[in-house]
Homo-oligomer: A and B are copies of this chain.
Amino acid sequence: MATIRDVARLAGVSVATVSRVLNDHPYVKREKVEAVKKAIAETGYIQNINAINLKKGKTNLVGMVLPLLDHPYFSQLMQGISTAASVHHYKLVLYQTGYQEGQEMEALEMLKLKQIDNLVICSRQVSLAVIERFRQYGNIVLFENGGNTPLSYTFVDHYACFMNALTYLYDRGHREIGFSINRSDGTNSKQREQAYKDFLETKGLRYRKEYIVKDCLYLEDGERVLKQFSKLQQRPTALLATSDQVAAGIMIASPEYGISIPEDLAIIGFDNHPIAKAMNITTIGIPLNSIGQTLFEQTLSESASHKEVPVSLIERLTV
């Protein structure tokens, strides 16, 4: 494998000159440029990016920490990050964690070792305090409300979202409202749960844990919601679904359970995935693609910034 030295020798110049030609530096005589280019062609010379990375202390690689890959929520986020990264000549390295702390730590270690320049954390188990310790090695950006952390973050106020959605249902006469969540220990889930409790208290409604369905994330989880509710004496008349996937799953399974939507059960989904539009599901629209882009851009910024993304309820036919 030819190196810069081979090229220099063949072209009859120094390695410095070859490097200059390679990097489009000014102040190289045209003849030398030609000679170098010829030598490069003849030797089949290829730059070694690891050497360049070592020298420059930079890889143009950005990491993305996420629990799983097969959900539109993360796909859209990924699409956004990837698009923005591409503009800045960055490539995306995936750290799929499966909600395992160890996997997250691995991503942080890679930042430390300088395999990646920066890191976007879309979901985490590791404490903020631990993550913060790694920020000396590169920018770390969070997709959550990080409070007064020195890290950059972009977030959606899930508490407010949930409150709005609950109020929307309440105003339309619903008093028995349930909801589904994914992992109850998730940052977003906690906010949603809190909003739910606070709302109930404000309105003087009773908290019934049978109205809460856990571990719902995918389309196929929708049916479980129906199954759980159908066993109840007193059933909820409305539901806030974890995501549009779950909402769609419920829609699809509902005829089988003899439930009409919205008459028997009103549904509000989350994210505004394409399926929500196709199935006319009322949902909270979250611009995940553009959030992804923002997250990447924060990764590049010298100073930390905190951004809240406004979301809106999209009225369709399931309420």
Contact = CB atoms under 8 A, between A and B. Distances in A.
Given A68-B79, A91-B94, A113 B49 contact: yes
A69 B82 contact: yes
A218 interface: yes
Nearest to A277: B220
A187 interface: no
User: Which of A51, A53, A71 has the most CB atoms of chain B within a 10 A radius of its CB?
Assistant: A53
A131 interface: no
A275 B278 CA distance: 13
Given A96-B86, A110-B91, A274 B220 contact: yes
B114 A49 contact: yes
B61 A70 contact: no
A191 interface: no
Given A79-B70, A219-B275, A114 B249 contact: no
Interface in A104-156: 110, 112-115, 137
Interface string A20-54: 00000000000000000000000000111111011
A6 to B, nearest CB: 16
A252 interface: yes
A75 interface: yes
Given A46-B112, A49-B115, A82-B96, 15 more contacts: A48-B54, A49-B113, A50-B53, A54-B54, A61-B93, A69-B79, A78-B94, A91-B95, A92-B93, A219-B274, A219-B278, A220-B277, A222-B278, A249-B278, A252-B278
A189 interface: no
Interface in A59-109: 59, 61, 68-72, 75-76, 78-79, 82-83, 86, 91-96, 103
A279 interface: yes
Contacts of A103: 86
A91 B96 CA distance: 9
A253 interface: yes
Given A92-B93, A92-B94, A93-B61, A113 B48 contact: yes
A47 B137 CA distance: 12
